[in-house]
Amino acid sequence: MNFRPGLEGITAVQTNLSSVDGENGRLIFRGYHADELARKYTFEEVIYLLWYGELPAQNELKKLKKQLHEARNLPEYIIRIIDELPEDMEMMAVLRTSISSLKANPEWPPTLEEATRITAIIPTILAYRYRSLHHLEFIAPNHQLDHVSNYLYMLTGKIPKDAHIKVLNAYFILTAEHGMNAATFTSRVIASTESDLFSAVCGAIGAMKGPLHGGAPTGVMSMLNEIGTMENTEDWLRKKLNNNEKLMGFGHRVYKTNDPRAEALSDVIESLSANDDWFALARYVENTAIRLLKEYKPGRRLYTNVEFYAAAVFKAIDLPEMLYTPTFTASRTAGWSAHVLEQAENNRIFRPLSEYTGLENMINENTQRG
């Protein structure tokens, strides 16, 4: 058998949704470069692109926004479910439990209405749970605000700054879709059984919950906080590299050159936060780390990845750490939904082989019964 651990290098899906070109540092959504989308478009426009295959006209965008607005509200029964969950339950587990309670269409295939429902309601679930844990009054969705700004509004109760909206909008776009990663593959496997879209996304959330998939921004933030100042940077990084420890936010399994998502986020943040001390530290750490990685690991082609600048985004908007991976999930749900819908168009159940490596001939003439 042609065994590949983790299915590495195996093509299991043909898709029109995205292309991840690691050698050349390109990420393409439906023919558009993701970094350009992040600089020029809104998250709603990119949702439309992923679901419908083209950027929307004004009337189409207006209709999608209206549908998202109408799907944001949190049903009373989900509020009761969330209230009954233990306070120390992880936010991703709360999200998974809440999504599993949504009523799916009994008929297959899944629908765009379901994709709209799940994409719209996740920020409301996160905001409700966060404010409840901190004994704050729930802030209902503001239907005058778009998807990203409404999320920030529900967390804080304040109309967010334009700069914060712009940088989080860029983050949501750049992380909305990224090829056949573990969570996306999980969603397509579940959908291939003709299960419903909500079940598929619950499975994807379970995969995203793992620290090897969705937890990197927390590690980057911890690293930057430990470094603290530019003066400490090189000594701190050299100590890690001398101990053969990984630098969080550098290197990517796919990208062997600059991560286009990191570059786009860096550009957006720099244009909005040129005088921000924390961002200046992040930029200094990045440049120093790239220089030292070339020294310590020549030929490895280790560059800044999106998680490094995701940490910068989350710091800029004062996003609580407990919401890092859930916020990543809120953006990626648009891509998961698109994959589930695409899987349903030409479905075939996933059924790979396994290679038995256990013992043989455990029963012989002397041990046979009777």
pLDDT tens-digit map of 54-93: 999 999 999 999 999 999 999 999 999 999 999 999 999 9
Topology match between the domains 16-210+323-345 and 216-316: no
Instruction: Give yes or no: 178 in active site.
Output: no
Domain ranges of the chain: 16-210+323-345, 216-316
Q: In 3-state terms, what secondary structure has residue 21? A: strand
Looking at residue 32, the DSSP 8-state letter turns out to be: E
Q: Is the model's pTM score more than 0.95?
A: no
- Blockwise average pLDDT, block size 10, the chain, 370 residues: 81 93 88 95 98 98 97 97 97 97 93 98 98 97 97 97 92 95 97 98 96 80 91 96 90 74 83 68 89 90 85 87 95 98 97 90 62
CATH of 216-316, one of 1.10.8.60, 1.10.230.10, 3.65.10.10, 1.20.1430.10: 1.10.230.10
Looking at residue 90, the DSSP 8-state letter turns out to be: -
Token pair, residue 176, equals: 């909305």
pLDDT tens-digit map of 30-39: 999 999 999 9
Tell me how far apart the alpha carbons of residues 310 and 78 are, in angstroms, rounded to a whole number.
30
Burial class (CB in 10 A: 0-12, 13-18, 19+), 212: exposed
Catalytic residue, chosen from 114, 263, 286, 307, is 307
Q: In 3-state terms, what secondary structure has residue 97? A: helix
Using alpha carbons only, give the angle 330, 145, 274 rounded to the nearest 5 degrees.
75
Burial class (CB in 10 A: 0-12, 13-18, 19+), 154: buried
Catalytic residue, chosen from 69, 147, 178, 252, is 252
Domain 16-210+323-345 has CATH 1.10.580.10: yes
